[in-house]
Amino acid sequence: MKESEARETIEKLRREIEEHNHRYYVLNNPVISDFDYDLLLIELDTLEKKFPSLITGESPTQRVGSDLKNEFRQYDHRYPMLSLGNTYSEDELRDFTDRVEKTAGGPVEYVCELKFDGASISMTYKNGVLLRALTRGDGTKGDDVTMNIRTIRSIPLRVKGENIPDEFIMRGEVLMPRAVFERLNNERIKCDLPAFANPRNAASGTLKLLNPRMVASRELDCMFYFLLAEELPHETHFDNLMNAMKWGFRVSDNIRVCRGIEEVMSFINSWESERKKLPYDIDGVVIKINSLALQEELGYTAKSPRWAIAYKYKAEQVSTKLLSVSYQVGRTGTVTPVANLEPVFLAGSTVKRATLHNEDQIALLGLHVNDMVYVEKGGEIIPKIVGVDHSSRNENSREIEFITSCPECATALVRNEGEANHYCPNYLHCPPQLKGRIEHFVSRKAMDIDGLGEETVDLLFKNKLIRNYADIYNLRTEQLIPLERMGEKSAINIVNSINNSLAIPYNRVLFALGIRHVGETVAKTIAEKFRSIDKLIGASLEELTSIREIGPKIASSIISFFADEDNILIIDRLKSYGVKFSEDGNKEPVSDRLKGKSIIISGVFRKHTREEYKEIIENNGGRNSTSLSANTSFILAGEEMGPSKKEKAAELGIPLLSEDEFLKLIGEE
């Protein structure tokens, strides 16, 4: 390869790696596996070594990824917080121990530790009291998250014992137990927040919250793995950790001193399967030189210590037979292919199905019925097919072709240009979509009917008690009580909640109808212009598109919805039950402090819910918006606001107002 070609490839790799660093460290939303990331880094490192004149100090191979955030004060690390070199190869690990023992002139003691997959933290103690806690940051400085760290019960705020240095640093990994992670994701999904990809992302994201109370509610834990000080109690890494354990720090019981590579490999191999039994995620084993004197002699590269290495486990992969492909229709009509597999045990559970995403993925894999396929869990959570064993394929096997009609209602599927997914356009009559529309209708932001979750709606469907959301208002307690998992109290609560929903205002009723492309904000805009459902039903395309935020796509969807006679019959029934289909009259705003201002709400708030803030904005003369543009007046920014939105706001010069600043602006104490 010529130097000019190498330069172009190196620059491309650096841009790609920096983007993945940003997603991993800052957004807590990686899009590739650790293994794939490491392959990119290895490719870059190999090219730079071949063309050393192209190495720069800014290259990802020369520095640590950064998780710094502007919301936190930053401090320098007294000792650089470097990354570890890592390998997936036993041969490379043996090369590491050979180099170490050559330098040492003989056998060496190694300390093997489980590589917990969490968020790194560095904590300074002075006179036995926690002074400051910093994230890894960029390796030289980190974010001060002391207030959040204080909420983690397994972290001592004060230590007592023998041989405690006047000032020392403990480093560890902040973790989220799998059970807490699953509960947190369920809560986030219910609140229409994006789910975390894995416990590591959840732990890292939690540490960067601005509300310590919310941090405390997430039940984080911490495992410690490193003691640093000018004068340490002992001359070995292991003995210092055991000393720290006596002071009150939580050090893993599974740390071992190994003599030679064979003992190291025995430790690694034993934990490859045993790790599934742990309450936390680990992704490998860290091997460190035990002697501090030898550590000092071996020294550091610009990015990592030469006296430690991480052996990382590859994502667990198994081979099994593809029996068939079935197709699921989602609530919005999206059709997803699912691989039905011969049951196989993988990463702690029996896997029978795996996602195939879309037609392009099937074509890319070139799947045939009865193929032997390789399956792994993406991020150790979702099973997916990653390859095919072509050598075992039957020559007469049938290639899998994507279906052309909906498996639920037989309607011809549609795939729009530029989109990856097929969908069923029969959203008014396709059974899964019908149930989805009912679930949307009863949801918290729509009609807010408690007790009618996904399972209950499905139960009512199976018992032929409902077919559309107007049927909900015919339900009686005597019909519900005999149903499975119901009972008298639950039945009474559901019926009461159905009756209470008659007070839901017109704009939320419009949103509840589930008209494609009509979200909360659009529904409010429509309700302001067409103050009754009858006026909206009679609106022309020109009248609809004349409204701000209503384009041809939304307008056409509204007209199609009301052109369906079944929908009109359902609306007539809802009217007869007392559902509100008109505004109660002109509502006078509380003030005009926000008159003429277009405001976006983003993030999580402490003093009001997002719904309450939308109402507050409207009551003070403002307008809620969902699209960020130069016309946006400001963003009401809560915790967990998306970094991409924040970056775009900075580019456009759109100010961010905190919750307190906003409340002060409108005069609320």
CB-based contacts of 96: which residues, under 8 Å, 6+ apart? 87, 287, 309
SS (H, E, C) 627-666: CCCCCCCEEEECECCCHHHHHHHHHHCCCEECHHHHHHHC
**What percentage of the chain's residues is helix, strand, coil (to nearest 5)?**
40, 20, 40
**Spatial distance between the Cα atoms of 67 and 74, rounded to a whole number of angstroms:** 11
Q: Which two tokens stand for residue 418?
A: 């530029």
For residues 406 and 147, what is the distance between their CA atoms, to the nearest angstrom? 53
Residue 131: CB partners within 8 Å, gap ≥ 6? 124, 125, 146
Beta-bridge partners for 204: none
Cβ of 440: how many Cβ atoms within 10 Å? 18
Q: Is 177 exposed, middle or buried (0-12, 13-18, 19+ CB in 10 A)?
A: middle
Provide the token pair at 146. 């002391």
User: By the 8 A CB rule, do 44 and 59 touch?
Assistant: yes
- Interacting residues of 184 by C-beta distance below 8 A, sequence separation 6+: 176, 196, 202, 218
What DSSP letter does each residue of 572-608 carry, written as one string?
Answer: HHHHHHT---B--SPPPPS--TTTT-EEEEESB-SSS
Residues 497, 491: Cα–Cα separation, whole Å: 10
How long, in residues, is the chain? 669
Cα 347 to chain centroid, rounded: 20
CB 225 within 8 A of CB 241: yes
According to DSSP, the residues that pair with 414 across neighbouring strands are 423
Q: Annotated catalytic, 321?
A: no
Cα distances from 337 to residues 62, 125, 355, 566, in angstroms, run: 43, 54, 7, 30
Task: Tell me how crowded residue 141 is: count the other CB atoms within 10 A of its CB.
Answer: 18
**Main-chain phi, psi angles of 71, to 5 degrees:** -70, -15
> Which residue among the candidates 2, 12, 115, 524 is catalytic per the annotation?
115
Q: Which residues are catalytic?
A: 115
